[in-house]
Structure 1
Amino acid sequence: MEAACDHGGDAEEPAGEGEAMLWTLREALERQTLQIGASACGATAVVDVLKALGVDVAPEVADRCVQTRLRRNESPLPDYLLSRSEAGATHAQLIQGAEEASEGKVTGRFFHLHPRRLVRLVPWLARWIRRGAVPVATMNMQVAVPVGDEVPDAWHHQLIFGVAQNAVFMTNPLDVVSEDELHQRLCSESVLLIRREDVLQRLTPDCCLSSLSEPRWKALDVEGQVKLMAQEEEQGQDGAKLTHIRIPAAYSSGVTLFALRESELGQELLSAPELPLLGLN
Structure 2
Amino acid sequence: MEGEHPHEEKQTETACCASQCPKDGEERQGQGAMLWSIQEAVERQTMQIGTSACGATAVVDVLQALGIVVAPETADRCVRTCLRRNEAPLPDYLFSRSEAGATHAQLIAGAEQASGGRVLGRHFPLHPRRRVRLVPWLAQWIQKGAVPVATMNMQLAVPEGEEVPDAWHHQLIFGVGPDTVYMTNPLDVVSEWEVHQRLCSESVLLIRREDVLLRLTADAPLSSLSDDQSDPRWKALDVEGQLRQMIREEDHDDEDQFRMSHVMIPAAYSSGVTVFALRDSDQGQELLHAPELPLL
TM over 0.5: yes
Report what 1:229 is aligned to.
246
Q: d(CA) in 2 for partners of 1:124 and 1:249?
A: 27
Amino acid at match of 2:71: A
Runs of at least 4 residues of structure 1 off by over 6 A? none
Report what 1:269 is aligned to.
287
Deviations 1:224-276 (A, max 9, x none): 00000111011102233100000000000000000000111101111212100
Report what 2:76 is aligned to.
63
Matches within 5 A, 1:138-153: 138-153=151-166
Q: d(CA) in 2 for partners of 1:18 and 1:185?
A: 22
Paired residue secondary structure (1:188): coil
Q: Specify which of 140, 149, 154 is matched with residue 167 of structure 2.
A: 154
CA displacement at 1:144 relative to structure 2: 0.5
Q: Specify which of 122, 128, 136 is matched with residue 115 of structure 1.
A: 128
Check 1:15–1:62 CA distance in 2 against 1; reply closer, same or farther (3 A cut).
closer
CA displacement at 1:18 relative to structure 2: 2.0
Report what 1:41 is aligned to.
54
Report what 1:209 is aligned to.
222
CA RMSD of aligned residues (A): 1.1
Q: d(CA) in 2 for partners of 1:156 and 1:54?
A: 24
Report what 2:261 is aligned to.
243
Report what 2:11 is aligned to.
none
Q: d(CA) in 1 for partners of 2:152 and 2:192?
A: 13
Q: d(CA) in 1 for partners of 2:254 and 2:108?
A: 47
Amino acid at match of 1:32: Q
Deviations 1:204-224 (A, max 9, x none): 011112222331001100000
Report what 1:6 is aligned to.
none
Amino acid at match of 1:227: R
Q: d(CA) in 1 for partners of 2:291 and 2:266?
A: 27
Paired residue secondary structure (1:211): helix
CA displacement at 1:15 relative to structure 2: 9.6
Identity across the alignment (%): 74
Q: Does residue 253 of the first structure (1) align with residue 266 of the second (2)?
A: no
CA displacement at 1:23 relative to structure 2: 0.0
Q: Specify which of 213, 219, 235 is matched with residue 218 of structure 1.
A: 235
Q: d(CA) in 1 for partners of 2:293 and 2:66?
A: 24
Q: d(CA) in 2 for partners of 1:222 and 1:16?
A: 49
Q: d(CA) in 2 for partners of 1:237 and 1:259?
A: 56
CA displacement at 1:146 relative to structure 2: 1.0
Q: d(CA) in 2 for partners of 1:16 and 1:188?
A: 31
Report what 2:37 is aligned to.
24
Deviations 1:117-146 (A, max 9, x none): 000000000000000010000000000001
Q: d(CA) in 1 for partners of 2:161 and 2:44?
A: 33
Deviations 1:69-97 (A, max 9, x none): 00000000000000000000000000000
Q: d(CA) in 1 for partners of 2:100 and 2:195?
A: 22
Matches within 5 A, 1:8-23: 16-23=29-36
Q: d(CA) in 1 for partners of 2:82 and 2:289?
A: 30
Paired residue secondary structure (1:159): strand
Unaligned runs of 5+ in 1: 1-13
Q: d(CA) in 2 for partners of 1:149 and 1:184?
A: 17
Unaligned runs of 5+ in 2: 1-26
Amino acid at match of 1:90: T
Check 1:15–1:258 CA distance in 2 against 1; reply closer, same or farther (3 A cut).
closer
Deviations 1:2-54 (A, max 9, x none): xxxxxxxxxxxx99422000000000000000000000000000000000000
Amino acid at match of 2:274: T
Q: Does residue 173 of the first structure (1) align with residue 191 of the second (2)?
A: no
Number of positions where the alignment pairs a residue of Structure 1 with one of Structure 2: 265
